[in-house]
Amino acid sequence: MGIIRSLSQLLLVCCLLWPALASAQVDDSQAQQLLTALAESSFKEKKSVVNQIAGSGDDRARTWLEAYGDNKLGRIESSGDFIIVLKNRGRNWTVQSALSGENLGEISRRDIDTIRVNNALRNELEGILSVIDLKSPDEDNRLTAARALKGSVDDTLAERVPDFIAAEESDAVQAALTEALAIYQVEEQGDVSAVATLSGSLNSEARAALQQAQNSDDPALAAAAAKAMESIEQKLKMNRAAETLYFGLSLGSVLVLAAIGLAITFGVMGVINMAHGELIMLGAYTTWGMQQLLPGQPGLALILSIPAGFLVAALAGIAIERTVIQHLKGRPLETLLATFGVSLILQQLVRTVISPLNRTVITPDWMSGSVMINEGLSLTLNRMYVIGFALVVFAGLMLIMRKTRLGLEVRAVTQNRAMARSMGIKATKVDILTFGLGSGVAGLAGVALSQITNVGPNLGQSYIIDSFMVVVFGGVGNLWGTLLAGLSLGTINQLLEPWAGAVLAKILVLVLIILFIQKRPRGLFPQKGRAAEG
């Protein structure tokens, strides 16, 4: 009985509605009939009903089918109204009307009949949904749908895809569709001419199709596929190299940021500041604090924390200089110990006052996400910002050291303190300002680091040894050396990582530096002249 009834309903739907389906919208009673047909027909018939719904051109069709595929399209037993389940946890489900889209609140699970779906239908639905998307007026939607089609084109879709290609205006969508079709042709039909389309494609489905074709019995196809694979391998290799370079540069710029403040205090002033890492940490915590003060505006808070982080770290640095370091002038080893004590105190201070746990710093929208270079390679935005930020900070420091009065005085005091003083330079003032500058830059590093790593009390410790390595490797007192050393150490680390693993790569880099220092004790760019003595 049920089958006959549903069949008759189906027939009714087909006869009555077919002309109406061509138009863009269906009215609610027709929609109700379509959905009833879907609910009451057998799995075999459901397939054609689904196609009808898809062909109806109704705006709501996509929502219905998507919900149906997810087992979320249903009917209220009592009223026969169709609903879409929004939340299906617990005893009561939140639902909305399928026809009007109105939220109906919570309804007991028992009162809802979900329309059943099976795996064959689900596969069908996937293709149908992407076809609906391919008709979408929005180009981005079409592109996403076209990309999703790669590897999921089947016999029925394959017949329709050429029409879409012909009708498509956007080149990108067209290319994606052509590739999707070519994957189908290679995989299912062994079409040699389609292999050329896939040559150089970075899509994993395309690679899978080619790999399969390589092992085919048809020698022409196998040869063509092998050739196409070769060009893909080539491209992949380039991709990997570009990715490694990018990661290397981003790690390197982090190192540069962390080390460049140290290069000023250690290199220019000859002061070992073991608390440098904790000044970085203070900068990172300033970012966190700013975001707490300005809830809901992480972007603005981040921008404001650049000057704030600089100030906080600079003031902390000046305080350290005044209370500890100035008493230890000319005793570098004691300075090292005392500032290490300061670093312990600062760490514990953060643990006690804020929390021993990591804090979350929100990444603003304009910094998250990634830039897609091609299908196999996408670069994360936040790291790109960090690279840019490091370069800007470096350029700014170069300008200060080279072009300003302060820079001139700093260099004078570095080279010959007594002479500089007799020329009227206030050496103490220069000390304070230089130390403030170096510490402030550490704060900036902290602001940047808060975007790519956890903000916790141990943040500084994990960078201090690396930073010293960068400064020593680059040559003390040479900002260019620090830049080059930071970037190259970052890249070497990333190059070693694939075959040695992260930890071993780090060990190898440390050993390399230790060996390098034996060969060139004063770094890549040693200071020349009298300043080098001592």
Q: How far apart are CA 412 and CA 430, in angstroms?
A: 10
Q: Which of these, 261, 461, 463, lies nearest to 350 by C-alpha position?
A: 461
Contacts with another protein, 283-312, as mask; x by CB under 8 A: ------------------------------
Q: Does 22 bind another protein (CB under 8 A)?
A: no
Among 296, 330, 424, 529, binds another protein (CB under 8 A): 330
510 binds another protein, rule: CB under 8 A = yes
What would the two tokens of residue 154 be? 């089947």
Pairing of strands 377-380, 112-114: unpaired
* 369 close to 384: Cβ distance less than 8 angstroms: no
DSSP letter assigned to residue 23: S
CB 179, min distance to another protein, A: 43
For residue 276, give both structure tokens. Answer: 């440098």
Size of the site for another protein (CB under 8 A): 43
Note whether 504 binds another protein by CB under 8 A.
yes
Backbone angles phi, psi at 103, to 5 degrees: -75, 125
Minimum distance, C-beta of residue 160 to another protein, in the bound complex (Å): 54
Examine residue 329 and tell whether it contacts another protein (CB under 8 A): no
For position 524 contacting another protein by CB under 8 A, the verdict is no
State in angstroms the smallest separation of the CB of 352 from another protein: 6
Of positions 192, 206, 272, 284, contacts another protein by CB under 8 A: 272
Minimum distance of another protein from residue 317's CB (angstroms): 15
Q: Answer yes or no whether residue 503 interacts with another protein by CB under 8 A.
A: yes
Cα–Cα distance for residue pair 269/411, rounded to 1 Å: 9
The answer to whether residue 511 forms part of the interface with another protein (CB under 8 A) is yes
What's the Cα-to-Cα distance from 502 to each of 107, 258, 505, 506, rounded to whole Å? 52, 20, 5, 6
Stated length of the chain: 534
- Residue 455's SS3 state is strand
Q: Which is nearer to another protein, 12 or 465 (CB)?
A: 465
Give yes or no for residue 357 binding another protein (CB under 8 A): no
489 binds another protein (CB under 8 A): no
Q: Distance (Å, rounded) from C-alpha 525 to C-alpha 401?
A: 17
Q: Which of 37, 180, 280, 338 binds another protein (CB under 8 A)?
A: 338
Q: Is 372 in the site for another protein (CB under 8 A)?
A: no
Residues 6 or more apart whose Cβ sits within 8 Å of residue 143 = 170, 172, 173, 176
Measured in degrees and rounded to the nearest 5, phi and psi for residue 258 equal -70, -35
Q: Does 532 bind another protein (CB under 8 A)?
A: no
Interface with another protein (CB under 8 A), residue from 52, 203, 347, 450: 347
CA end-to-end span of the chain: 102
Q: Which is nearer to another protein, 85 or 350 (CB)?
A: 350
Binding of another protein by 353 (CB under 8 A) = no
Q: Decide: is 507 part of the binding site for another protein (CB under 8 A).
A: yes
Stretch near another protein under the rule CB under 8 A, chosen from 83-91, 185-193, 341-349, 362-370: 341-349
Stretch that binds another protein, among 38-46, 97-105, 184-192, 322-330 (CB under 8 A): 322-330
Choose the binding region for another protein from 193-201, 440-448, 490-498, 513-521 (rule: CB under 8 A): 513-521
Quick one: which segment of 207-215, 346-354, 428-436, 439-447 binds another protein (CB under 8 A)? 346-354
Dihedral of the CA atoms 185, 186, 192, 197 (nearest 10)? Answer: 80
Query: Does 534 sit near another protein (CB under 8 A)?
Result: yes
465 binds another protein (CB under 8 A): yes
- Is the distance from CB of 238 to CB of 475 less than 8 angstroms? no
Q: Binding to another protein by residue 327, rule CB under 8 A? A: yes
Q: What is the phi/psi pair of residue 295, to 5°?
A: -65, 145
Please state, in angstroms and as integers, the Cα–Cα distance from residue 448 to each residue in 252, 275, 471, following that order.
13, 18, 19
Query: Whole-angstrom Cα distance, residue 106 to residue 93?
Result: 5
Q: Which residues contact 343 (CB under 8 A, 6 or more apart)?
A: 274, 275, 277, 278, 460, 461, 464
**Candidate residues 112, 208, 222, 328; the one interacting with another protein per rule CB under 8 A:** 328
Backbone angles phi, psi at 89, to 5 degrees: -105, 145
- Under the criterion CB under 8 A, does residue 515 sit at the interface with another protein? yes
Q: How far is the CB of 269 from another protein (least distance, A)?
A: 13
Q: Does 322 bind another protein (CB under 8 A)?
A: no
At its nearest, how many Å lie between another protein and the CB of residue 493? Answer: 13
Instruction: List the structure tokens of 532.
Output: 């080098």
Helix (H, G, I), strand (E, B) or coil at 117: coil
Give the nearer residue to another protein in terms of CB position, either 347 or 451: 347
Among 110, 424, 518, 530, binds another protein (CB under 8 A): 518
Number of neighbouring beta carbons within 10 Å of residue 32: 16
Closest distance between another protein and the C-beta of residue 498, in Å?
17
Of these, 519, 528, 529, 530, which contacts another protein (CB under 8 A)? 519
Q: How far apart are alpha carbons 92 and 183 in whole angstroms?
A: 45
* Structural contact between residues 95 and 84, judged by C-beta atoms closer than 8 angstroms: yes
Among candidates 133, 124, 175, 173, which has minimal Cα distance to 153? Answer: 124
Query: Cβ distance 76 to 83 under 8 Å?
Result: yes
Q: Does 343 engage in binding with another protein (CB under 8 A)?
A: yes
Catalog residues that contact another protein under the rule CB under 8 A. Answer: 272, 324, 327-328, 330-338, 340-345, 347-349, 351-352, 465, 468-469, 472, 503-504, 506-507, 510-511, 513-515, 517-519, 521, 533-534
